[in-house]
Structure 1
Amino acid sequence: MTKPKGKKRDKISVTSEIDLVEERRTRCQDGLERAEFRQRRERLSDKESEELEHEMTIMRERLQKMDKELESLRGENRKNMMLSVALLAASALFYYAFVYSDEDL
């Protein structure tokens, strides 16, 4: 039985997921740059030129989706970081309030 993709992603930390998306984005960006270089340097037939342009359009759309996904993941990462800081501050406050207040008695 195959596992759904969403379940697998839930087990990955946000920072790991950001790294994975950035890596995929870098590979896609490299592919787009190679295609643009090929378009500029080689003499292509009309059909080859159309196919290459179509491929480049698909890569640009993928890059846009990955940029949106990265923006969302970074927002989630910021939210998690702020929650961690708030919990740390609350823990420190309770520690100070209970441990040091008992010493004054």
Structure 2
Amino acid sequence: MAKAKDKRREKISIATEIDRLEERRARCQDNLERAEFRSRKEKLSEEDRQELEDEIAIMNERVQKLDRELQTLRGENRKNMLLSVGLLAISALFYYVFLYSEEAS
């Protein structure tokens, strides 16, 4: 099943994947803030408080994991952008060399 998921992700652009992860991170962050607010404002039994703290810890781990994935994807996006700019510069250089060599002839 993981292979099918990876194949689907291969077809998605990096920018789309970044947007998707940012949305997931925002939802996790909202849930985390709600849980933290609830832990501060509500009077909870010791058992409920422990469950809420466990939930907060899990959400913190998810947010950190998403942050790492986003950092990796943004690095890939930067590499792709630099490659694109480099190819554009080389193409422009060849175009001008070809254009000026035609004028010189």
Q: TM-score with structure 2 length normalisation?
A: 0.96
Amino acid at match of 1:41: K
| Equivalent position of 1:85 in the other structure | 85
Find the counterpart in structure 2 of residue 66 from structure 1.
Answer: 66
Q: 1:61 and 1:12 mapped to 2: Cα distance?
A: 25
Counterpart in 2 of 1:103?
A: 103
Could you say what the CA RMSD is over the residues aligned between the two structures, in angstroms? Answer: 1.5
Counterpart position of 1:35: 35
Deviation string 1:16-70 (CA, Å, 9 cap, x unpaired) is: 1100000000000000000000000000011100110000000000000000001
- Residues in 2 aligned to 1:12 and 1:96: alpha-carbon distance in whole angstroms: 35
Deviation, 1:100, is 1.8
AA of the residue aligned to 2:73: L
Match of 1:48 in 2: 48
Cα distance, 1:99 vs. partner?
2.0
- Which stretches in structure 1 are left out of the alignment for 5+ residues? none
TM-score (norm: length of structure 1)? 0.96
Give the letter aligned to residue 71 of structure 2. E
Q: 2:4, 2:37 → 1: CA distance? A: 38
Q: Any stretches of 5+ residues in structure 2 without a counterpart?
A: none
Q: Which residue of 1 aligns with 2:6?
A: 6
